[in-house]
Amino acid sequence: MLQAVNTCSLRSIMLRYFFIISLLWFLLSPIADADVVKPALIEITANTNETVTIEVRASIEALLTGINSQYKNTQDAPQTMAAAYDTLRELPPDALRAEFAGFEQRFLQAITLQADDTTIPLSLSNVAIPPRGYTKVPRISVLTLTGKLPRYHQQLQWYYPQVFGENVVRVRQVDEATEAWHWSEHQWIRKDEASKPFVLDQLFTKTPFWQVVGSYIIIGFEHIIPMGLDHILFIIGIFLLSLRWQPLLAQVTMFTVAHTITLGLAMAGVINLPAAIVEPLIALSIAYIAIENMFSNQLAKHRLILVFVLGLLHGVGFAGALSDFGMPQDAFINGLISLNIGV
């Protein structure tokens, strides 16, 4: 009897604290007016005429203001940086191109492409900036770089400084016998270091099963800790409905199945919702769960349906930074399952 009273009292205390934290999270969340900070996507093409073409897909506004991947979204950055970003985001393409002109040399001097032990001089051949569009989502521009490769080079190595943010890089090579193109696997570089060498003296092949599993478990884990506090709060809210394991297992199962569905669809490019819509709804879902926990400790059918629906929403949120480069095409299911294990 005493144990039951203590358990009840503990749950009551935890609920109060969780309710306060969740309400503050919802009321103070600036996400509706912020852009999610995404890693730059780098695609390097080793051409048969010993030239190289590099496409850098990144936010010029983020590059110019120094808002990099240490921030989950632009409003997490210092106020002056966030304000400068918002100003640049309102500019039409020609005006933003003019702003970037003064930054070009710094950008070119900071990045590095090496062929074996030779540093390749790179030049900026084109800057494609989309129209201003809806200003509450990131505007991803394409910077095209070109260079001359030495004859008989065997590997390429790419460096993109951490001050510009995280980057995801892959290399494309041609099979001269069939004239077919082959892509390497992506490398997601989070630290201030160069990529692992891309070996070009043999065609890129399928990534080993355990390498896919290990890589995507780590990606899923790092997506939640430390940057996924909103998702962690939601899981805590599920737990606090009841301290018994049966309700917890039922809710976690519904949540996992739901976010696996939308995460897979988002990673495959089937659905794509802007963060300005998704993130406030996730904050609202946390607040709602907190409120419902205050009035019930029983697992009703509507609760499972609600958790499933909100799980669909969180799956889209999980895919935010990952959907730009997708899953390995030859191991999509393995990558998706591994990513969910990490999450």
- Residue 297: half-sphere exposure toward Cβ, Cα within 13 Å: 12
User: Cα–chain-centroid distance for residue 97?
Assistant: 26
The answer to whether the CB of 109 falls within 8 A of the CB of 68 is no
Total number of domains in the chain? 2
- Burial, 73: exposed, middle or buried (Cβ in 10 Å; 0-12, 13-18, 19+)? buried
DSSP state of 173: E
- Are 114 and 242 contained in the same domain? no
- Are 299 and 262 contained in the same domain? yes
Query: pLDDT confidence of 32, banded at 50, 70, 90?
Result: very low
Range of the domain at 216: 2-33+211-342
Looking at the DSSP bridge assignments, the partners of residue 155 are 199
One-letter amino acid of 211: Q
Average predicted confidence (pLDDT) for the chain: 79
Q: What is the mean pLDDT of residues 36-61?
A: 89
* pLDDT(259) > 80: yes
Query: pLDDT confidence of 225, banded at 50, 70, 90?
Result: low
Between 138 and 41, where is the model more confident?
Answer: 41
- Are 201 and 306 contained in the same domain? no
**What pLDDT does 88 receive?**
93
* pLDDT(326) > 80: no
pTM, 2 dp: 0.71
* pLDDT(156) > 90: yes
**What pLDDT does 62 receive?**
92
- Are 192 and 217 contained in the same domain? no
Non-local CB neighbours of 308 within 8 Å, separated by 6+ positions: 254, 255, 257, 258
- Are 60 and 191 contained in the same domain? yes
* pLDDT(58) > 90: yes
Looking at the DSSP bridge assignments, the partners of residue 145 are 54, 124
The residue from 205, 229, 258 where one domain ends is 205
- Are 64 and 21 contained in the same domain? no
- Are 286 and 268 contained in the same domain? yes
